[in-house]
A = this chain, B = another copy of it.
Amino acid sequence: MPLVRIDVLQDRAAEQLPAIGDAVHRALVAEIAVPERDRFQIIARHPPGLLVFDPEYLGIHRTAHIVIVQITMSLGRTLEQKKALIAAIARNLSALPDLRPEDVFVNLVEVVKENWSFGNGIAQYAV
């Protein structure tokens, strides 16, 4: 159910991308009870200058190792769950090479539960 878009700069090695996807997915599974197999992610690399970020906003020092994670997910998680999810994403990602917690940007977009189909033309989560 989450649809996860992950955007990085293109100088990041392609070999690192699966581990980045894994790190985000493990946070979803651990913190907001996303099923292990409910994994759908689009990872894109961008030329320098086309993924634009401020290197100092809020006093956080960001580098070209930035990872932008935008997660579309169902409504219903508490603020505490969302905070735990964000913390786990940063913790899991920053355990990887060339990845600092300062470089983890996260945005959550919430939709009603009925707005998903996992195949066969059926809105599987609709009541």
Residues of chain A touching chain B, judged by Cβ–Cβ distance below 8 Å, are 3, 7, 14, 17-18, 21, 35, 37-47, 49-54, 56-58, 60, 62, 68, 70, 72, 79, 82-83, 86-91, 94, 101-112, 114-124, 126
Q: How many copies does the complex hold?
A: 3
**Residues of B with C-beta under 8 A to A60:** 118-120
Residues of B within 8 A of A126 (CB): 79, 82-83
A121's partner among B41, B87, B114 (CB-CB below 8 A) is B87
Closest to A87 in B: B121
CB proximity of A31 to chain B, nearest CB, Å: 11
Question: CA–CA, A102 to B119, complex, Å?
Answer: 4
Judging by beta carbons under 8 Å apart, are B107 and A3 in contact? yes
Determine whether the beta carbon of A49 is less than 8 Å from that of B112: no
B118 engages A109 (CB within 8 Å): no
Known: A42-B50, A83-B122. 14 other contacts (CB 8 A): A37-B56, A37-B57, A38-B57, A40-B53, A40-B54, A41-B52, A42-B46, A42-B68, A43-B51, A45-B50, A83-B126, A94-B121, A105-B118, A106-B116
The CA-CA distance from A14 to B110 in the complex, in Å, is 32
